[in-house]
Structure formats: structure tokens, C-alpha cells
Structure 1
Amino acid sequence: MDRVLVTGASGFVAKHVIGELLRAGYAVRGTVRGQGKVPGIWAAVAALAPGEEANLELVAADLLDDHGWADAMQGISAVMHVAAAIVAVEPKDPAEVVRPAVEGTERVLAFAAAAGIKRVVMTSSIATVGYGLGHERGVRRYTEADFTNLDGMRQSWAYCIGKTRAERAAWTFAEQHGLELTTIHPGAILGPATDADTSISLGLVTGLLDGTTPAMARIGFAISDVRDVAAMHLAALEKPESVGQRYLCTGPFMRFEQVADVLRRAYPDYPVTSKIVPDWIIRLLAAFGGSVRQVINDVGNEKHFDGSKGEALLGRPYRSVEDAILSAAESGIRFGLVKALHA
């Protein structure tokens, strides 16, 4: 039985990746920073790969510390580098997000190479594809051939900086050390959760559903179902043609108000957000940082990411965006992440 290392095992995507691997017959070793989120990982395995608990091992390792990584790589046939630092509010110090992304990626790849591991599948993002390329208004279509230009961005965005620098570093390291690298690029990741510790992306849905998001920016995003993202990681691992390739894992572009419409139809009794904030207010607020700074680069434009190459790798159509949205909403309600309706 091949053993695959999955970094950041407590993350929303990583839990689904672990489930995919276990169901496919792999043994998995997952890395965690501490014990606090370990129960959620076991809950995910029980939900996604029941009966496979004996084939999962969890070990301690931190992206910013060498300790534990050499041992974590022993007996491993491939690495899935899924770990990432994601924050809801733009940090005052970008290094809070950028350092784990870049140094963490370099650390994981260095220890993998030292252990003789060749195969690496890395979770990247549309953030490394469609930014800083002169698109400030109108519609534009992006493919895997596009690469974010950090120097051309309207406003700095720590997550985008970290992901882009990390991916650049990964491709450089892979070329220099003969690693067989594949990168997967989802958009806003929705879909079902296995426990209450989900992702910031699900907050897009839960905040709209219960009205705790008071108003919506006039922007949209490519939606990815977490089940498709996890399945694409497995497909990349098992298909040799994916080596050296980038794959967008993205469904159709949807505006915030379209997501709200889907929720409103499915949950007519909930106070789904309806107010829309004008672009000029978003631009003004972005000057002060906070969560608005993370979307300012999308104001005034419409970005479509061509996920057809990834869909071909997956070997089936993506799940519908409505399924991704509604399964996220159902999870939010089930795990108490949505404000309860008044009786």
C-alpha cells in the first residue's frame, strides 16, 4: 500500500483529499501543527472513508519549523502539499500569510527531495493565475497559461502574494531537483463540510444565508466544489500526464447576488442578504484594509477561469455550482454556523 503525505491535514480541502486517498486504497500520513483540530480530522474520515481509520496516521509538523519533517517523509511515495494560511481579514503584516506559504512550500519540497520523494501534487489557487495582468474592467477569460504578476496588482493582497511566490518557488525547486510537480488551482471552495471547522469560503455562503453579511460587493468569483478539488488531486497523482502541469479546478463565474438568489430560492424563510454596496464605497473602504482589501482587485471586472483542462483530467463533469452552494449552506446549518431563525 503506497503511503501519501498530506500537509495541513486539518484543513477543509485536506480532509476531503484524505478521504479520497483512503477510499482509493492509499495509506495516508497527515501533518498537523497541534492537537486542537485532530478530532475534526477523525470525524472527516468517519464521514468520508468509514472503516479506513487504521490507514491514517497523524504527525506533528509546522510549516515554519524543520522539526518533524524528516520523520514525516519516511516511507512516503508522494506528497500532497495542501497546507495554507488563510485569514478572513487582510493582516497588517503580510508575512503572517506569506511566510507559511513560501517558506512552508520550500521546506516541504526540500525535505521531500532529501527523502528521495519525486512526486508532489500542490494545492495552488486562481490567485496565482488571474491577477496583475492589466484587467481592471470588463470580461476576461483566463487559462493555466496565465500567471499572476504581483507588480501589476491594483492593491497588495497577502494571500495572493503568498500563493504566487510559493508556486513560483515550487516550480523552480522542482526543475532544479527533478521533482514531478503538479499544481491544482481552485477558486472559491464551497461544498459539504464534515465538521464545524470548515473554511473562510463557506463563510461567503453562511453570511449571506443568515444575513450577518450586511451587504454584498458587486463582484463575483469562480466557484469550486471541494469534492471536485479533492478528486482532482487524486487524478493528478494517478495520471502521469499531469506531471509538470497546472490545472484550474473552476466552475462558472457567479456574482454574490447570484449566490444569494440560489440561497433565497432554497431557503425562503431565511433573511438572505439583498443589499449591494456601490463600487466607489468598496474602493474607499479598501484604503483602510480589512476584509474589503481582499476583493478590491476584482471590483469592476469579471474573471472567467477556463476549467476544461482540469475537467478532462478529472474525467467527468464538475458538480454544479448550485450543488456546491447548497451543500455548503446545509453544512452551515447542520454545524451551527448559520444564525438560527427566530421562532
Structure 2
Amino acid sequence: MERVLVTGASGFVAKHVIGQLLDAGYAVRGTVRGQSKVPGIWAAVSALAPGREAGLELVVADLLDDDGWAAAMEGVSAVMHVAAAIVAVEPKDPDVVVRPAVEGTERVLAFAEAAGVKRVIMTSSIATVGYGLGHERGVRRYTEADFTDLDGMRRSWAYCIGKTRAERAAWGYAELHDMALTTIHPGAILGPATDKDTSISLGLVTGLLDGSTPALARIGFAIIDVRDVAAMHVAALQKPESIGHRYLCTGPYRTFEQVAEVLRSAYPGYPITRRAVPDWLIRIISLLGGPTRQIVNDIGNEKHFDGSKGEALLGRDYRTVEDAILSAAESAIRMGLVKVKTG
């Protein structure tokens, strides 16, 4: 049975990737930093690939430490580098996010190369595509040909810096060492949670449902369902023609208000705000750091990402944005992640 290494096995995307790999008949070895999140991984596997739990092995390996990586690569035919450091609030020290992204990617590729593993699928982001390119107002459409220019960004963003530098490093390493690399670039990832340890992106939905999001910023999202993100990783592995390519994994653009309206229609008893926050206030608050620092680059403009190349790789259309939103909401409510309900 072909074995695939999945880094960051406790992550939202990684759990779905592992489930789909197991369901497709692969053996999977997943890396974790410690044991605390292991129960959530097994819960996810039981939900996503029931009866195939025996195909999963978990090992300890940290993106910032060499220990464990040589053993993790033994007997592996391909690596899916999904692990990333994601924080809800912009850190005072960007290296909290940037170091695991860049050094972690370099470490994973180096140990893969040492073990003779040449096939790598890497989870990147639209953050490496649509920033620092002079788009401050209005509507712009991006494709895989676009690459974020960190020097052109007016406001720093650690996640964007880390992802962009990591992808640049990966392509450079792949060229130098003749590595068969594919990168997948999701937008805002929603869809069903498999356990209570979910992603920060699901906070977009839970924050609206429980009323903890007090107002709606004038921003939008290229939303994609986590099941499609995972499916694209598997499709890239199975289709050699994906080697050397970047793939946007993004659905249609939806404003924050449009996301809220989908939830209002489905869950009329929940305290979903209608209040809007002006752009100038977001820009002022962002100077203090916090969550607004991570969205200020998107205030006042629309970034549309052409996901058609990714759909062609999948061989089908993406799930609808509404499905991604509502399946995220349903699972969050069912698992008790949304605590407040009125009406």
C-alpha cells in the first residue's frame, strides 16, 4: 500500500486530507507536535473514513526541530505538506508565524530529499497570490500567474509573509533538487468540522452565529469548502500533469454581509449582527494590532480568484459557497461550538 506523509495532521485541512487519502486506499503517516490533539485526529478519521483507521500512523515531529523527520520519511512515496502556524490575532513578533512557515517548509523538503522522496504537494494560500500588487481599490481578478510582492504591501501581515516566503523557498528548492512539486492555494476555508478542534476560519461562521462578531467589515472572501481543498490535494497526487503547477482552490467572492445573510436565512433565531463598521475605523484599529490587522489589506477592494484551473484538476465543479457556509454552521452547532441562541 502506497504511504503518504501528511504534515500537521491535527489541522482542519489535514484531517480532511487524511480522511480522503485513507478512503482512496492509501496508507497515511501524519505528523503531530505532541499528543494533546491526537484524540481529535482519530475522531476525524472515524467520521471521514470509517473502517480505515488501521491505515493511519501518527508520529511526533515539529517544524522547528530536526528530531523525528528522518523516521517520518521512511517508506514514504509522497509528502503532503499541510502544516502551518495560524493565529487569530496578528502577533507582535511575526516570527511566531513566519519561522514555522519558512524553516518548516525547508526542513520538510530537505528531509524528503534525503529520504529519496521526490513528490510533494504543498498547501499554500491565496495570500501568496493577491497582495502587494498595487490593488487598493475596486475589483481585480487574480490567477495562478500572479505572485504576492511582499515589498509592495503597505501593511505587514505575518501569515502572508510566511506563506509567500515559504512558497518561494519551495519552488527554489524543487528546481535545484529536481523535486516534483505542486502547490494548492485555498481561499477562506469553510465546510464541515469533524471534531471540536476546528480552524480559525470557522470563526467567520461561529462569530456571526453566537453574536461575538459585533459588526461587519466591508470585506469579502473567496470561499472554498474544505472537502474540495482535500480532494484537490488527492487529485494532484494522482495526476502527474499537476507537477510544477500552482492551483487556486477558490469559489466565488462573497461579502461578509452576504455570508451573514446566508446564515440569517438558515438560522433566524441566532443573534447575527446587521451592524456595519466603516473602513476608516478598521484602518485606525489595525494600527493597534489584533484581528483587524489581518484584514486591513482587503478593506475597500474586491479580490476575485479564478479557480477554474483547480476545477479542471478535480474534474468537477466546486461545492457551492452556500454549502460550505451552511455545513460549517451545522457542524459547529451540532458539536456545541456555538454557545448562544436567542429567539
TM-score by length of 2: 0.99
SS in 2 for 1:260: helix
CA offsets 1:21-72 (integer angstroms, 9 cap, x no match)? 0000000000000000000000011000001111100000000000000000
Structure 1: state its 5+ residue gaps. Answer: none
1:52-71 paired onto structure 2 within 5 Å: 52-71=52-71
Aligned counterparts of 2:173 and 2:206: Cα–Cα separation in 1: 39
Match of 1:174 in 2: 174
May I ask how many residue pairs the two structures share in their alignment?
Answer: 343
Q: Is the 8 A contact 1:229 1:249 kept in 2?
A: yes
- CA deviation after TM superposition for structure 1 residue 342, in Å: 4.7
CA offsets 1:59-92 (integer angstroms, 9 cap, x no match)? 0000000000000000000000000000000000
CA offsets 1:83-104 (integer angstroms, 9 cap, x no match)? 0000000000000000000000
Aligned counterparts of 2:58 and 2:266: Cα–Cα separation in 1: 38
Aligned counterparts of 2:327 and 2:41: Cα–Cα separation in 1: 19
- CA deviation after TM superposition for structure 1 residue 339, in Å: 2.0
Structure 2: state its 5+ residue gaps. Answer: none
Aligned counterparts of 2:289 and 2:269: Cα–Cα separation in 1: 34
Report the RMSD for the aligned CA atoms in angstroms.
0.7
Q: Which residue identity lines up with residue 16 of structure 1 in the other structure?
A: H
- CA deviation after TM superposition for structure 1 residue 273, in Å: 1.6
- CA deviation after TM superposition for structure 1 residue 107, in Å: 0.1
SS in 2 for 1:336: coil
Confirm or deny that 1:246 pairs with 2:242.
Answer: no
Aligned counterparts of 2:253 and 2:10: Cα–Cα separation in 1: 28
Aligned counterparts of 1:340 and 1:279: Cα–Cα separation in 2: 28
- CA deviation after TM superposition for structure 1 residue 340, in Å: 2.9
Match of 1:336 in 2: 336
- CA deviation after TM superposition for structure 1 residue 154, in Å: 1.8
Q: Which residue identity lines up with residue 8 of structure 1 in the other structure?
A: G
Q: Which residue identity lines up with residue 173 of structure 2 in the other structure?
A: F
- CA deviation after TM superposition for structure 1 residue 268, in Å: 0.7
1:1-343 paired onto structure 2 within 5 Å: 1-342=1-342
Q: Is the 8 A contact 2:270 2:341 kept in 1?
A: yes
Q: Which residue identity lines up with residue 71 of structure 2 in the other structure?
A: D
Aligned counterparts of 1:342 and 1:254: Cα–Cα separation in 2: 26
Q: Is the 8 A contact 1:210 1:273 kept in 2?
A: no
SS in 2 for 1:328: helix
CA offsets 1:227-255 (integer angstroms, 9 cap, x no match)? 00000000000001100000000000011
Q: Is the 8 A contact 2:225 2:319 kept in 1?
A: yes
Aligned counterparts of 1:76 and 1:334: Cα–Cα separation in 2: 37
TM-score by length of 1: 0.99
Aligned counterparts of 2:56 and 2:230: Cα–Cα separation in 1: 17
SS in 2 for 1:277: coil
Aligned counterparts of 2:32 and 2:274: Cα–Cα separation in 1: 39
Runs of 4 or more above 3 Å deviation: none
SS in 2 for 1:45: helix
CA offsets 1:98-119 (integer angstroms, 9 cap, x no match)? 0000000000000000000010
Q: Is the 8 A contact 2:211 2:340 kept in 1?
A: no
